[in-house]
Structure 1
């Protein structure tokens, strides 16, 4: 039996759900499919559960910073099992809730692996469905590794479901996953080591602030080994032995757990895109600026599934999905607006970026005023016992507008939202300084940063 839809969405994460509900609200007959529980990576296996675990680490670290300042942290420690139970209290109800909400909005929810059997035909568990339009929003999966013993590694999903946290953890790769999980693990009593083959981890962030983050992490026992490659991982009687080749030559690291944090790639391998006439590459489906496939006009893609200029962030995926849905509904060619979108590494403290890096601004020919501020001794940090913090604001001298903002400090991810609004709407730093903030708050620090 064949079911016909106006739109079939592949992937029930935040992007896919946004597009499905938008089109259904306009009277389209819509179906959505996923082979995993509904909710996607962010709600179930990424952003949200990660930050719940980070809360435990924040509390422990906050108490540690106030030791000898009036707070006796005594035996304060993370109970990993109870913290994980708290996480499950949020994640476990999500799939059912998402599916119920979709059904209530008129979206047909399907389960199984979707594969193209033609340009507008999708097979799901042996049933072929025809759709006038198809949106691919299938997300990403951990990038393949190329060293012997890679099968012993767990991925981020596994880490977020660990029943017990082991004592010695090696994180492979110098990106978001490794740094965020290492900062959680260190406050929970583990000894983390991050292995990065490059000279500088977190390459998308300001180099000076990354160094501050690495130094801050070393205070709680996080070791970062740079210019180091893993040659193999082997099992031992008590765990694993990680063989590395670094600046000092070959060496080994004994670990109880090895975690894959070396990036993610679009999850497209099971879609049979060739049969659908959908061109793709290692960065996702080949799409035009308005997110339509360059080779199949009935197919659109968004989020990690699409090769776009957007950052691999859930809010960006949702923006793209909504734009794709609007374009399908109106036969339009609108492109997403990626201006001033903040991104953060939720370490403790967090590291944030908006807009251009310093070298990007200079390479683009802008005359930039680099306003670097060491905030480590500011009242906002002194109050909580924190001793590390800095900001770097890049201002275009020709119009007094911010073109890049880089922040490292406690609570600065929230501060980034104000900066994002100012950048998005073209406010000058003079206009930003004219606003009176609640005092004393981190927001009131902004005028001194710019």
Structure 2
């Protein structure tokens, strides 16, 4: 006999957890299901463990930059110790999450959920029926369709390495490639990035990415753009990566090859058709309320929905939207204005709002202030040469349209621009704000 619930949540990451806890607090019976350890990508296999490794690499890099400026000695990273530090955070997460669900009276299930009807799933032989479902299964690496693809390790595999090999190739040029290459280079690996596009980090301002590439070169990262990986072959002492660039064949030897070429919603194993849930091109077909267009009992959130940018704050936002729609009826729509994005390179690069090209494309009248500001105090006190910004302000309204930062504290300062964009604060209001000095935020007035 099937077990009955008001809501069944497939996944236990940020979007899943946020929705499950809110709906349970409202008195609904709730079940959560996951084929993997509880906690989701961000806490276990993505943002959080990555940032812990970036923290170690950043500390060492700062010490190296300060050599001859009061810091002596040659710092280095002990990779096993850094990984142990990372595990001190990630290892307890699944048990802690499962206990918290039990404490709230939320039923927990382990295994692959497969729909067997519009309102029912099978989980390793257990049948669950629910009035409503939430698909919050996150994302997985995209299939590349090349020979030897099975030799690639994923970002999850990289974050679990017990030792870092000497020669690493990253396939792709987005967040994962940029961040992992900076970590690996600081540890001492020979790193090559093979990017099919004409530049890395296409979601960030091209001028600022250009400034950041100086740091890639300075730490010895070999970035090859316009290069398409065609095959990966296992050989005696590692791997042979074959690619093409400008009509020429390129061969790169590696001890490790990392998939960094994008992710897609992880929905393939759900047997969606049996529940009448439409998907097209690997994406769920949703309405403006994050509800399935073809099965009104089903909602989606986070990376599985791919309604907004694939970022953790978006997953949290989606969770609030879905919970509101489950409790109130469909009255809530997601609002992705002012979502900041950061690539945690060393130093970080960040963006929020419109790009310069987007603003021109919308026919907006605006002024742009942009500068590579390596001589500003924020850069000099950190002994960091890469520091700069580009900010666009609408002429008539003084609204901040977009902000793009690279350098020390960019990952924090971007949040203040996000606040301004989301809540309509003007450039004048930001200029009149008294920020603590000297901090990264105290530069904002000079960026406008």
TM-score normalized by the length of structure 1: 0.98
1:175-214 alpha-carbon deviations (Å, 9 max, x no partner)? 1111100000010111111101111221111111111112
How many angstroms apart in 2 are the aligned matches of 1:376 and 1:413? 17
Shift of 1:269: 0.7
How many angstroms apart in 2 are the aligned matches of 1:10 and 1:116? 11
How many angstroms apart in 2 are the aligned matches of 1:289 and 1:248? 44
How many angstroms apart in 1 are the aligned matches of 2:434 and 2:331? 41
How many angstroms apart in 2 are the aligned matches of 1:296 and 1:180? 39
Contact kept in structure 1, 2:7 and 2:133, CA below 8 Å: yes
Shift of 1:400: 0.6
**Unpaired runs of 5+ in structure 2?**
none
How many angstroms apart in 2 are the aligned matches of 1:282 and 1:208? 33
Contact kept in structure 1, 2:167 and 2:190, CA below 8 Å: yes
Distance verdict in 2 for CA 1:370–1:40, change over 3 Å: same
Partner of 2:173: 174
Which residue, 443, 446, 449 being the options, matches 2:447? 449
Partner of 2:82: 83
1:215-254 alpha-carbon deviations (Å, 9 max, x no partner)? 2111001111011011211122211111111137112111
> Number of aligned pairs?
448
Contact kept in structure 2, 1:116 and 1:272, CA below 8 Å: yes
Structure 1 counterpart SS, 2:249: strand
Structure 1 counterpart SS, 2:273: coil
Structure 1 counterpart SS, 2:292: coil
How many angstroms apart in 2 are the aligned matches of 1:413 and 1:140? 24
Contact kept in structure 2, 1:284 and 1:304, CA below 8 Å: no
1:381-400 equivalent positions in 2, closer than 5 A: 381-400=379-398
Distance verdict in 2 for CA 1:115–1:191, change over 3 Å: same
Partner of 2:434: 436
User: Are 1:71 and 2:71 matched, yes or no?
Assistant: yes
1:91-117 alpha-carbon deviations (Å, 9 max, x no partner)? 000001111111112211111110000
How many angstroms apart in 1 are the aligned matches of 2:434 and 2:352? 23
Partner of 1:302: 301
Partner of 1:58: 58
Partner of 1:197: 196
**Unpaired runs of 5+ in structure 1?**
none
Shift of 1:329: 1.0
Partner of 1:21: 21
Partner of 1:376: 374
How many angstroms apart in 1 are the aligned matches of 2:397 and 2:278? 42
User: Are 1:32 and 2:35 matched, yes or no?
Assistant: no
How many angstroms apart in 2 are the aligned matches of 1:220 and 1:373? 23
1:201-212 equivalent positions in 2, closer than 5 A: 201-212=200-211
Q: Which moved more, 1:91-100 or 1:331-340?
A: 331-340
How many angstroms apart in 1 are the aligned matches of 2:103 and 2:269? 29
Partner of 1:365: 363
Structure 2 counterpart SS, 1:366: coil
Shift of 1:283: 5.1
How many angstroms apart in 2 are the aligned matches of 1:117 and 1:262? 33
How many angstroms apart in 1 are the aligned matches of 2:329 and 2:226? 49
How many angstroms apart in 2 are the aligned matches of 1:402 and 1:102? 41
Contact kept in structure 2, 1:266 and 1:282, CA below 8 Å: no
Contact kept in structure 2, 1:283 and 1:307, CA below 8 Å: no
Partner of 2:151: 152
1:104-253 equivalent positions in 2, closer than 5 A: 104-247=103-246, 249-253=248-252
How many angstroms apart in 2 are the aligned matches of 1:217 and 1:260? 19
The root-mean-square deviation of aligned C-alpha atoms, in Å, is 1.0
TM-score normalized by the length of structure 2: 0.98
Contact kept in structure 2, 1:136 and 1:300, CA below 8 Å: yes
User: Are 1:332 and 2:300 matched, yes or no?
Assistant: no
1:363-403 alpha-carbon deviations (Å, 9 max, x no partner)? 11100111102221111110111011110001111101101
1:86-139 alpha-carbon deviations (Å, 9 max, x no partner)? 000000000011111111122111111100000001111112110000000001
Structure 2 counterpart SS, 1:270: helix
Which 4+ residue blocks in structure 1 deviate beyond 3 angstroms? Answer: none
Partner of 1:404: 402
